[in-house]
Amino acid sequence: MIIAVSGKGGTGKTLVSSLLIKSLKDTEKDILAIDADPDSNLPEALGVDVHKTVGDVREELKEDTAKGRIPTGMNKWDILDYKIMESIIETPNFDLLVMGRPEGSGCYCAVNNMLRRIIENLSSNYDVIVIDTEAGLEHLSRRTTQNVDVMLVVTDKSKRGILTAQRIGQLADELDIKFQDLYLILNRVNPENEEEILQKVKETGLDMVGMIYEDDEVAQFDIEGKPLVELPDESNTVKAVNGILSRILK
């Protein structure tokens, strides 16, 4: 199963992605986490240090090619695949791959093209892949998430967040990208304006799979820079994401 987490930047994509992985690690499944956002925050949320990204690998290969360091007869894609496998970080509970971005002023499209290839090559090696996508709509227009089984669209109560969520659903239809399931997650909900926000969410046309309330403990973790996977199991936010995962895996 491939699960992608999307939405407007700052709505809680990485929170949901990291807590899905926290919940999945108790299922004894082989898990790969992919941070596909150039503003990489997933490693910190998972408490993992990253020394090399796919973007770094691509830049190294470009330099080796330019300087004639690629042995004659060797396929560059084979070398790239090997180096990408080397850059996967293995932990006791999950593996992590960070896409990063090119070092220069190059377009991020090349890294996205590589992401499609990586998903195709690695999907058979893992039971579940969780992708923290690039913010906004680009992952759809570039079709980097076209082979995803479950698309989770995260929004907060902001009008822009809800509008982005609605556009993701519309663009998927326009591009004829078929997910097995396309769900909305409403994050940072305040009980006092819950009904008003829920009414706005209905206008997106997306099925809501779960709701996460405003959480002071999560805010404190963010302030202190503590990994979100270290949130206690009794945390209301952790319980909410556990509930979302159980509905996805039904």
Task: Provide the pLDDT for residue 121.
Answer: 82
Whole-number pLDDT of residue 75:
75
Query: Chain-centre distance of CA 108, in angstroms?
Result: 16
Check residue 143 and give its pLDDT: 67
Among residues 148, 128, 127, 145, which one has the least CA distance to residue 136?
Answer: 145
Q: Residue 108's pLDDT band (boundaries 50, 70, 90)?
A: very low
- For the cut 70, the answer to whether the pLDDT of residue 109 exceeds it is no
Question: How many whole angstroms separate alpha carbon 89 and alpha carbon 215?
Answer: 30
Q: Which residue has the higher pLDDT, 248 or 104?
A: 248
Give me the chain's average pLDDT, please.
Answer: 86
Give percent of the chain above pLDDT 90: 44
Stated pTM of the model: 0.89
Residues 170-182 have pLDDT tens digits of 888 888 888 889 9
The average pLDDT across 139-159 equals 80
Select the more confidently predicted residue: 144 or 77.
77
> What is the mean pLDDT of the segment spanning 30-36?
94
Q: Which residue has the tokens 């995962």?
A: 245
- The predicted pLDDT at position 248 comes to 93
All structural domains of the chain, each given as residue ranges with its CATH number in brackets, are 2-248 (3.40.50.300)
What's the CA gap between 140 and 177, in Å, rounded? Answer: 8
Higher pLDDT, 143 or 85: 85
What is the rounded average pLDDT of the residues 206-218? Answer: 94
d(CA 210, CA 102) in angstroms, rounded, equals 35
How many CB atoms are located within 10 Å of the residue 220 CB? 10
What share of residues in the chain are helix, strand, coil (percent, to 5)?
A: 50, 20, 35
The per-residue pLDDT for 105 is 47
By C-alpha distance, which of 44, 58, 51, 131 is closest to 88?
Answer: 51
| pLDDT digit string, tens, across residues 9-20 | 889 999 999 999
Cα 29 to Cα 27: distance, rounded to the nearest angstrom: 5
For residue 61, what pLDDT is reported? 80
pLDDT on residue 103: 52
